[in-house]
């Protein structure tokens, strides 16, 4: 396991990866690397270099035209939600309820809990690249962002999703 830091306009980000994919990406203030990853090496590999290039492009207010390999650690439901998050277009938003409707339709059930979706969104360990910041409340309000609503607001403004 490896990690590196990236200084963004919103503060320092820490990216962790194995030799194949990103494991976490989060604001450094929100991480406890020693507890969660006791065997990390502060060493950049090709995955981390590619992730930093992705972030550079993103923070230039451009949609990156390449992807970064990610390894999701979570339940099947969480992974399903995170997959939906990855499909939210740059500069667009979606509500927790809309995601719940997508899952209900996929599963051929009447209803899925927006609160369950919210918990899955909140457990995303790969910030920004898995754009949980693009998920908003049913009435368009900014709700729920682990790193703070101020960062969520700034990310959405950077993408042009909010004026």
Sign, Cα dihedral of 41, 42, 44, 50: positive
Taking only the tens place, the pLDDT of each residue in 8-27 is 999 999 999 999 999 999 99
Please, what is the average pLDDT of the chain? 91
Q: How confident is the model at residue 28 (pLDDT cuts 50, 70, 90)?
A: confident
Residue 163 has pLDDT above 70, yes or no: no
Give me the pLDDT at residue 43, please. 78
Enumerate the domain spans of the chain: 2-59, 76-159
The DSSP secondary structure of 63-112, one letter per residue, reads: --SS---B---S-HHHHHHHHHHHTSPTT--EEHHHHHHHHHHHHT-S--
- The fold for domain 76-159 equals Arc Repressor Mutant, subunit A (1.10.10)
Taking only the tens place, the pLDDT of each residue in 31-61 is 555 555 557 777 789 999 999 999 999 999 9
Q: Is the pTM of this model over 0.85?
A: yes
Taking only the tens place, the pLDDT of each residue in 78-134 is 999 999 999 999 999 999 999 999 999 999 999 999 999 999 999 999 999 999 999
Q: Which option is the CATH number for 2-59: 3.90.550, 1.25.40, 1.10.3470, 3.30.160?
A: 3.30.160
CA distance linking residue 15 with residue 30, whole number of Å: 12
CA distance linking residue 130 with residue 85, whole number of Å: 6
Residue 7 has pLDDT above 60, yes or no: yes
Helix, strand, or coil here: 23?
A: strand
Known catalytic residues are 132
């Amino acid at each position: 396991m490896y990690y590196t830091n990236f200084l963004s306009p919103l503060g320092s980000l820490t990216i962790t990866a194995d030799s194949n994919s990103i494991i976490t990406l989060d604001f450094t203030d929100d991480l406890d690397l020693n507890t969660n990853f006791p065997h990390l090496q502060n060493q950049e590999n090709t995955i981390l270099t590619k992730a930093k290039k992705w972030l550079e492009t993103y923070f230039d207010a451009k949609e990156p035209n390449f992807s970064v390999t990610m390894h999701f650690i979570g339940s099947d439901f969480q992974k399903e939600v995170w997959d939906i998050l990855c499909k939210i277009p740059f500069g667009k938003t979606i509500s927790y309820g809309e995601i719940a409707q997508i899952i209900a339709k996929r599963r051929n059930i009447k209803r899925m809990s927006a609160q369950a979706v919210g918990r899955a969104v909140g457990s995303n360990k790969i910030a920004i690249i898995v754009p949980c910041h693009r998920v908003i409340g049913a009435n368009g309000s900014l709700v729920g962002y682990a790193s703070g609503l101020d960062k969520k607001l700034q990310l959405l403004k950077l993408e042009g999703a909010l004026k």
